[in-house]
Amino acid sequence: MNNVLEHSVYISNPLLGEYFEVKLPKWEKRIKCVAYAFCFSETSGQYKVLRSVVSKFEGRPHVSELEVYTLGVDEKWRNVGEVPEPLCGSFCKANVNGFVHWMNSEKNDSIYSLNSWTEEVKSLLAPRGLTTSSYGLTLVELGNCLCLCDTYHSEYVDIWWMKEYGIAESWTKDRIWKDTIQPDISCDRFIPISTWKDGEILMQRYHGTHVVSYNPKEKKFTKVKVYLGFAGTSYIPSFYSLKTVIGESLQVSYAYPKVEIV
């Protein structure tokens, strides 16, 4: 969310039709933009909402501060300090082993991570020799592995896998040629979003509704039929109720979908 004065943030379990509205801090004039992320700490068993707040002060450059709200624990947002790279767009969807990640918006050599348990921010080295700017790079989680995807090129997609988390020397590149995607859209950007159990990689067309699946053994794409919507994301169904997370004192609402999605 960016430059929006009035907005809402919800935590939802679509399988149970539950949702919970997170109470946000009062908007201040000094705030330039905000971004949100959701994470789970296996160490503490806690679910947390992260909020990056970019503020502008007279005579000072933009400052990005990180705020945390722990579901069922915190009554207010906690400020955990400034982050080295102002985040004015959105966090990426690469949540690996309880670490939330984002990239430097101006340089392609640094990746930042926040430990959802200790709430410490650290930096990781991106693969060496990248020639694509941060605009064409996307961080994702594939098979519980941190991946950096270069989707800028019209003929192929490069996926860098960090085989050993935190070890820069473990980056390994796979190049996926897009020659088997239907010709009218093959030159567009395709963003990897998830992996199937058999190792196939699900990708979505950037700013589009087309979804394809890549089989690394056959080196071939197949079209995936989708219904409605304009953006895809990975989702693991769960019967774990929000009530057990936020407690009985807070209100959980219910809204079942009117349209059945097959």
The domain locations on the chain are 9-231+242-251
pLDDT of residue 7: 75
Can you give the pLDDT of all 262 residues of the chain as single tens digits? 344 456 788 888 888 888 888 888 887 777 777 888 888 888 888 889 998 888 776 655 567 888 999 988 888 899 988 887 656 666 777 889 889 998 877 788 889 888 989 999 888 999 998 999 888 899 999 988 999 999 989 999 999 999 999 999 999 999 999 999 988 888 899 999 999 878 999 999 887 778 999 999 999 999 887 765 556 666 777 777 888 888 776 677 776 444 333 3
Q: Where are the beta strands (DSSP E) in the chain?
A: 9-13, 18-22, 31-41, 46-55, 63-70, 78-82, 95-96, 99-103, 110-115, 121-125, 137-142, 145-150, 156-162, 171-177, 190-195, 201-205, 211-215, 220-224, 253-254
pLDDT of residue 31: 77
Q: Which CATH number fits domain 9-231+242-251: 3.40.190, 2.120.10, 2.60.120, 3.10.450?
A: 2.120.10
pLDDT of residue 2: 41
